[in-house]
């Protein structure tokens, strides 16, 4: 099912609010993109040993999130880690564990 642009923005903004009020400031997240049922953004530089620099968070049919971490270099895209069935209260911890970046003070 394809969501309307308004529904896409509502989902993306909800994910962003669940990541925390100061998420973009604390992590340097940029290039935020509302997806059909989620949010994608890039991170500055290469984070951690695996070089994570892009994250995609998608709301699935079970009303939980699928979170995928990528390393993108030019046209080369490498999936670093994927977590399925993440509840909203686990979203921050999953992000912080994979990237080592804190989402709030």
pLDDT digits (tens, 9 = 90+) for 59-90: 999 999 999 999 999 999 999 999 999 999 99
Is residue 41 within 8 Å of residue 47, measured between CB atoms? no
For residue 1, the model assigns a pLDDT of 65
**Mean pLDDT for the chain overall:** 93
The residue ranges of every structural domain in the chain are 5-95
Q: Whole-model pTM? A: 0.93
pLDDT at 28: 94
CA distance 5 to 60: 17
CA–CA separation, 45 vs 11, rounded Å? Answer: 27
């Amino acid at each position: 099912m394809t969501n309307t642009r308004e529904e896409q923005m509502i989902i993306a903004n909800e994910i962003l609010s669940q990541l925390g009020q100061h998420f973009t400031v604390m992590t340097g997240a940029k290039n935020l993109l509302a997806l059909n049922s989620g949010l994608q953004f890039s991170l500055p530089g290469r984070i951690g040993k695996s070089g994570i620099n892009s994250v995609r968070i998608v709301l699935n049919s079970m009303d939980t999130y699928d979170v995928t971490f990528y390393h993108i270099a030019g046209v080369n895209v490498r999936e670093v880690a994927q977590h399925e069935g993440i509840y909203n209260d686990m979203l921050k911890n999953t992000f912080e564990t994979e990237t080592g970046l804190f989402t709030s003070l």
